[in-house]
Amino acid sequence: MISRVCLVHYHEIGLKGKNRARFENQLIVNLRHALKDYPVQDIKRISGHLRIRISDDQADEKILEAIAQTVSQIPGVARASLAFRTAQQEEEFCQAAVDALTQAAAARAASTLSGLAASGSFAVSAAASSDGFETFKVRARRSATDYHLHTLELNRLVGSVLCEHFPDKKVDVHNPDIVVHVNVVQGDVYVYAHSLVGVGGLPVGTAGKVVSLLSSGIDSPVASWMVGRRGAIVVPVHFSGRPMTSDASEYLCQDIVEKLKSAGSIGRMYVVPFGAVQREISLAVPQSLRIIMYRRMMFRIAERVARLEGAQALVTGESLGQVASQTLENITATNEVVDIPVFRPLIGSDKQEIIARAQQIGTFEISSQTAPDCCTLFMPRRPETHARLREVHAAEALFDFEAALEQLMQQIEYIDTGDCPSYKPPRELRTYHATLGPAAVPIS
């Protein structure tokens, strides 16, 4: 009997040694959480893959496509393939190969037409107007060594059947349009030709927890996503200009978190009403050093949240030399106030590379909206680009940063996303955000 399944492929996890099972198990947990609203019967490890089995009565093609699309967004997944599961009978897996090639050709043709429409071209290419491909090959793999056919024999057998069904198509073993995979595994045969490319990386929950300084701009959401893709649980902290500005940036950050939720890496988002303290700092310190003083305070608060959350590093969206606060001297002056590592995934990226990644993960349109926040509040006309630590220390002595830190920690609020299965909230800082959160009063 032929049934439909989704096969999950991973690359980096396969390189792990004795702790590989831990990464696989965490990926299974994350997949179950991401697919909780779909009719998934079970998720099982099979010979270097994960198999997602759908309830037979709900194995609709659209549901399978939606499952594969969701799976492809989960860190740790290299590819998600819509596969046919058959018995080790030649008639069944050969028929499955015909069906798999037909579906892959249709998906390829639809993708080509979609690309032409997106580019504004009305000229339909030969590939788009045909049934989607000109060449193919069969790639067989036999994990079950007790099966009587060798991989080369499987290639010839399935290839000959496909040549009969598609007589106008050619076999190209070097650069085919479509590859039909035939895997003999644990008493079954899995046949597929259509796959969605995943985000790669490692499963969230295998690399600890980090606190990310999240703004509504383009850079910090990308940095947060990149660290989450490496297996870290990300706890964003947003510094709002409230009460000196509106809370519009907070809503944009919530929208950004909603976009990033598909990866399952975002824990709780904290919001710090930073505007009043920022104004006090701007009145007390030299104008040229304001930005550095703001960022030193932000880093102190983020580190305090990290201690409460059990996080082991901070994450920022800084790119070397992009703005005044991101020169080597100013980065050094900011780093000085914290004792935990600060990750800067974008430090060597230019703006166009960051924008391209933001478009890929779906945050660019949100970040392109303008909203007043602390990043544009009380900015100096001529910010210092090469701060000297001696001058920074002298300026900091003009303001009671410790008292301001305690004040802000009393005012900090949070918004729960509830979409990271590995995240465990701390017992401290239990005040909901007054307007965005699920309640308007603190929890006792």
Known binding-site residue numbers: 213-214, 238-239, 295, 317, 326
Nearest Cα to Cα of residue 363 among 212, 231, 192: 212
Sheet strands (E) in 61-176: 79-87, 135-142, 170-171
Task: Classify residue 146 by burial, with Cβ atoms within 10 Å: 0-12, 13-18, 19+.
Answer: exposed
- The tokens for 17 are 């040694």
- Rg over CA atoms, the chain: 26
Nearest to 332 by CA among 302, 288, 292, 277: 292
CA distance 423 to 268: 8
Q: What is the DSSP-derived secondary structure letter of residue 424?
A: -
- Adjacency order of strands within the sheet including 314-315: 342-343, 314-315, 209-213, 233-240, 268-273, 413-416
- Label residues 169-200 b or e (16+ Cβ within 10 Å = b): beeeeeebbbbbbbbbbeebbbbbbbbbebbe
Say if residues 257 and 266 touch (Cβ distance below 8 Å).
yes
Residues making up the binding site for ATP:
213-214, 238-239, 295, 317, 326
